[in-house]
Amino acid sequence: MPSRRSKPPKSAAGSTGLANLADRLGLGPRAVIGLRAAGWTVLAGLLVAGGLMGIPTLKQRAEARNLLLDDPIEVRFVGGPSWFEDDDLRAGLADTVRSAIGEDRATTRDAGLRRALEGLERTGWFETVTQIRWIDPATVAVEADWVVPVALVDGTLPDGERRAFLVDSEGRRLELDYAIGGAGLPDLLRIKGVSEVVPPSPGERWGDDVDAALDLHRVIHDAPWYDLVRSIDTRRHAMDREVELHTDRSTIVWGSPPGEWTLAENTDQDKILIVEQLATDGYLKADAIYDIRSFDIHRDDAVLDFRYRNPDDR
């Protein structure tokens, strides 16, 4: 019975074929190795090119799926300050982001995110918005440097409604206000009697009288009697450039804003000491008005001389 010769493996056959071709062309062993390496390189390049050609198609399909999502976008404010707990404020800022993005939920394009960044900066709640990014097709993260609300300014809306408006330490209006006399007012200093009763746009500064009140707020904030102060009244600022403090029952005529006292007037530090003495001796529990502009606290026998004993005498 004739013997059956087995076929050589394909790799062996390929090697033999390449060797025969090399013999015919007169190529040496090194040239053969080079040809093999070049062949593998070309093959790898073709595979990579084919893969890259397929990536845009995959991205397009993914973006098409994102645009069809019906779920509302979740907005995460990364590292928000401790006071950022107001549900209405959080919801309002999140709505600003959602409205700016709209239907443009393509995570590879940033047009919607740019609109959201500009919208947030217009609210006045941020010194800077450092980054807005997609976490996934349904979630946006916001990183920003927040402003800090320090006071409420009494003002009037164009329709005549009286409201208390939040301002930051620079006197810029923040996009949140409250009904005067209503529940839920933040426990912040009130600024009353401003000359510009109609508030500026969010993010804009209010006016010189609010600046004067905030300067006084900074000067007295660390005084031991600060918690007794309920408001700063600026009604006399426009004409006399003077401000007043109000406790629950008393009025303190402070006089010139901090750093602007006249030669006949006590310094800011002297005024702080006078009010401290008034608080210690219980005077601030009385229904009275105390003029501390020129009272001499350095006299051992000094006696408080009230310029006004009731508001009607002013």
What DSSP assignment string belongs to 187-224? S-EEEE--S--S---TTSB--HHHHHHHHHHHHHTTST
How many domains, in total, are found in the chain? 3
Let me know whether 50 and 156 are in one domain. no
236 CB neighbour count, 10 Å cutoff: 16
**Residue range 267-272: mean pLDDT, rounded:** 92
Let me know whether 141 and 155 are in one domain. no
**Residue range 73-99: mean pLDDT, rounded:** 85
Residue among 80, 68, 177 nearest 120 (CA): 80
Domain finish residue from 127, 146, 165: 146
Task: Give the residue numbers spanning the domain of 214.
Answer: 149-313
Let me know whether 192 and 225 are in one domain. yes
Q: By three-state DSSP, how is residue 72 classified?
A: coil
Give all strands of the β-sheet with 139-146 in edge-to-edge order.
74-78, 139-146, 126-136
| Structural domain includes residue 59 | no
> CA 68 to CA 56: how far, in whole Å?
19
Start-to-end Cα distance in the chain: 136
Let me know whether 33 and 179 are in one domain. no
Let me know whether 119 and 182 are in one domain. no
> How much is the pTM?
0.66
> CA 2 to CA 143: how far, in whole Å?
84
**Residue range 89-95: mean pLDDT, rounded:** 89
Q: What is the pLDDT of residues 78-89, one digit of tens each?
A: 988 877 766 778
| Structural domain includes residue 1 | no
| Structural domain includes residue 227 | yes
Let me know whether 119 and 252 are in one domain. no
CA distances from 32 to 10, 13, 20, 45 (A): 18, 15, 11, 20
